[in-house]
Amino acid sequence: MVRRTSRSDAFVDKSRLLEELRACREAVVREQTRMRVSGPLYYAGATVIAAIDALALMLTGNGQYFWEPTRTGQSDKPSESGN
């Protein structure tokens, strides 16, 4: 029998999660500079980065959320342009 849960995505602390994801992504990128390009570790790191970017897209509506340098007052809300 399937057990139902009362969890809701509405209770996710998006700001905190994005902050932690940024730190994780930066650590992977930093270590990739030491890895053999095209090696298995490099590709595994790229997979982690892609997953982080996908989660950021779901949280913010911006798949390139982490691609730009951090700015003061950066909003975690989706852009109003509808793109």
Q: Report whether 56 contacts 14 (CB < 8 A).
A: no
DSSP secondary structure string, 16-75?
HHHHHHHHHHHHHHHHHTTSPTTSHHHHHHHHHHHHHHHHHHHHHS-TTTTTSPP-TT--
Structure confidence at residue 10 (pLDDT): 86
Residues of the chain where predicted confidence (pLDDT) is lower than 70: 1, 70-83
Question: Can you give the pTM of this predicted structure?
Answer: 0.74
Structure confidence at residue 74 (pLDDT): 52
What distance in Å separates the CA atoms of residue 10 and residue 13, rounded to the nearest whole number? 8
pLDDT, one tens digit per residue, over 49-67 is: 999 999 999 999 998 999 8
